[in-house]
A and B are shown apart, each in its own frame.
Chain A
């Protein structure tokens, strides 16, 4: 098989890596487009409940989040372990939800306001009393489209 032996020592041509940065940059931009930076720091811990019949949340800019859960470990010494509601960056009471929704609504474009969705991200061990209060507040604030955030159930 002398025919194929490379005793002649032809060198392998070096791979041109000049376009590698461009490739990586393209990938980087793709990632930046599809992901959304979380703007709020979570002060409550929550584990989403699980369900199977899930719908995707569309139009991220129209979605407002309400977090419900127990305060994180660091804040627990100060606030106790009672279930709390978090709007944006601070804890809130149910009475403040209405103002918060009104504020979020006014910051939207006028034609988008009716399509505002409120995503309730609550811990799965929350008692329904809190959720019901939040729901009543949302009704009063005319934010009727809601979404119970949930993870996909795996059997």
Chain B
């Protein structure tokens, strides 16, 4: 073997950057970067078929009825309201700051971090909509309700812990959630209003 070992010529790698770039651009185009966001809700469990409709007794003062008709108009309590007014009405209803007789009753409850608190534990917001309501109108109302709760929670968090709700620890968040539990009930749909 007198032959000299020949060196293999080096592969020219200057184009591999271009190839990688092309791959990168391909992936950028085909993938969707959009993070899915939305309003999270929990549905009530199904009513057993054999069970008769039983009326749960709710005191009238604990109930706030929000109704959206097929023309996307909102009825809150017993008055027509604009979407912008809804949040404040809901906040006032949930909070009941002046112990109004027509607003939800307050129950004393022992809550960690806060001690004894008077909370409107039994309030219920009943959301009803027509079959002809637009989805956007429905989402708007859901959004306003969520906003009302979020603002109330933020207020109490700031007052107690000096921070917004989202930055609290889990136990603190639980305590705040106990003060303002989200109670939205969605009634079975009805078909009034006529317009399809």
Contacts and interface: CB of A to CB of B under 8 A. Distances in A.
Chains A and B form a bound pair: yes
Interface of A: 17-18, 20-21, 24-25, 27-28, 31-32, 34-38, 49-57, 60, 63, 117, 119-120, 122-129, 131-132, 135, 138-140, 142-152
B5 interface: no
B8 interface: no
Contacts, number: 155
Interface in B24-67: 24, 27-28, 30-33, 35-46
Nearest to B47: A139
Contacts of A152: 37
Interface stretch (B73-81, B113-121, B126-134, B167-175): B126-134
A36 B68 CA distance: 36
B139 A49 contact: yes
A28 B37 contact: no
3 tightest A-B contacts by CB? A129-B131, A35-B31, A124-B136
A112 B16 CA distance: 42
Given A28-B27, A51-B139, A146-B42, 11 more contacts: A24-B24, A36-B31, A49-B140, A50-B136, A51-B142, A53-B39, A57-B38, A123-B135, A128-B131, A144-B45, A150-B38
Contact of A24 (B20, B46, B135): B20
